[in-house]
Amino acid sequence: MTAFQPRVFSGVQPTGNLHLGNYLGAVSRWVPLQDQMPTIFCVVDSHAITAGFPDPVELSEATREVTAAYMAAGIDPTKSIIFNQSQVREHAELAWIFNCVARMGWLSRMTQFKEKAGKNKENASVGLFAYPNLMAADILAYRATHVPVGDDQKQHLELTRDIAAKFNNDFGERIKELGIGVPNPTPSPELPEQLYFPLTEPMIAGPATRIMSLRDGTKKMSKSDPSDLSRINLTDDSDTIAKKIRKAKTDPDALPSAVEGLADRPEADNLVGIYAALGGLSKEDVLKDFGGQQFSAFKPALSELAVAKLSPMTDEMRRLMDDKVQIDSVLKDGAEKASAIAEPVLKDVRRIIGFLDVR
């Protein structure tokens, strides 16, 4: 990798409640990164309007709720920048430029668009189609080098790299001429001598990169599943968490004693993965303790661990939500800090492209 300043960027959409997948696949993994490099965590409200405009009051509330969840999970506004996307105009501006970098063919291959648009593609918003360009802009407006996400965002991050590479290439000579950017230690026909945007590293790791529905181990846990029993929300109380785990779909066999035994057992694999991620363990560790046991023994242990881990966070979220003034002030401060990084980047990008600056 080149000498870009290391920086983490990630985000969650404020649509509905955060669930265990968002927490284990993303937010919980952000916390330790705060002590390793500069970190920016965004509540991506501009993304939340691509599948239809939510109720305006609910959108504002959900934005605060996601902010509260970040903080309750351990994202510290004195260490990280926390803000909502729509407050920093550079995201939208860079997304427009990336609309002109990315190719129709690239976006047509995005599986998430295909899933979300379904059969009714003609009626999907243009925003839903162009969404990955906005995601690339979110990341590259800060020239972020590391993006910790769940497995479902992998393809979007590959597109982000393709956009960065194409921009670097198309403007390679110009970037060098202007003397901005970072030298590329290994220039090639694919990447020129001087780079403006980093090729972002996806950080997709651990036992919980893809938490599945509690009702169907072949489907991802998601906010849009009509069954609330399919997911654990971060706002669920202890009884609800215990009930959802009790009712989680399983198979009739005992747990295996090795990870290979989880193949073809999606529900068992999912619950073991959840236990591992909540306990900071590997799946192997979990099976060392529970291999050979029935779900009737494993589920209560999982409930106990989930409640012990999640309840204090839920309480803290409620406490934070009682003080909206404080949440808004965290977001305001974050937006100012984020703008201070993104503004000079967009200034460079305008110069690189040749937009005449008369002000």
Q: What are phi and psi of 147, to 5 degrees?
A: -130, 100
Active site residue 154: no
Tell whether residue 354 is among the known ligand binding residues: no
Active site residue 332: no
**At 208, which amino acid appears?**
A
CB-facing half-sphere around the CA of 342: CA atoms within 13 A:
25
- Please state the closest distance from residue 242 (CB atom) to ligand TYM, in A: 20
From the list 133-141, 190-198, 248-256, 288-296, the region that binds ligand TYM by CB under 6 A is 133-141
Tokens of 264: 């073809």
- Please state the closest distance from residue 186 (CB atom) to ligand TYM, in A: 26
Residue nearest to ligand TYM (CB): 25
Tell whether residue 334 is among the known ligand binding residues: no
Could you tell me how many residues make up the chain? 359
Tokens of 164: 């960065």
DSSP assignment string, 300-340: HHHHHHHHHHHHHHHHHHHHHHT-HHHHHHHHHHHHHHHHH
Neighbours of 114 (CB within 10 A): 12
Tell whether residue 152 is among the known ligand binding residues: yes
* Binding pattern for the stretch 202-241 against ligand TYM, x by CB under 6 A and - elsewhere: ------xxxx--------xx--------------------
Q: In this structure, are residues 231 and 22 in contact, taking their beta carbons and an 8 Å threshold?
A: no
Q: Which of residues 6-45 bind ligand TYM (CB under 6 A)?
A: 9-13, 21-22, 25-26, 44
- Please state the closest distance from residue 173 (CB atom) to ligand TYM, in A: 29
Q: Which residues contact 208 (CB under 8 A, 6 or more apart)?
A: 21, 24, 25, 150, 273, 274, 276, 277
Tell whether residue 138 is among the known ligand binding residues: yes
- Please state the closest distance from residue 292 (CB atom) to ligand TYM, in A: 28
Measured between alpha carbons, how far is 211 from 66 in angstroms, rounded to an integer? 19
Q: Which of residues 45-64 bind ligand TYM (CB under 6 A)?
A: 47
Tell whether residue 154 is among the known ligand binding residues: no
Distance of CA 245 to the CA centre of its chain: 25
Q: In this structure, are residues 73 and 61 in contact, taking their beta carbons and an 8 Å threshold?
A: no
Which positions are annotated as active-site residues?
116, 220, 223
Point out which residues bind ligand TYM (CB under 6 A). Answer: 9-13, 21-22, 25-26, 44, 47, 135, 138-139, 147, 149-150, 152-153, 156, 208-211, 220-221
> Known binding site: residues?
13-15, 21-22, 138, 150-152, 211, 220-224
Binding-site residue ranges for L-tryptophan:
138
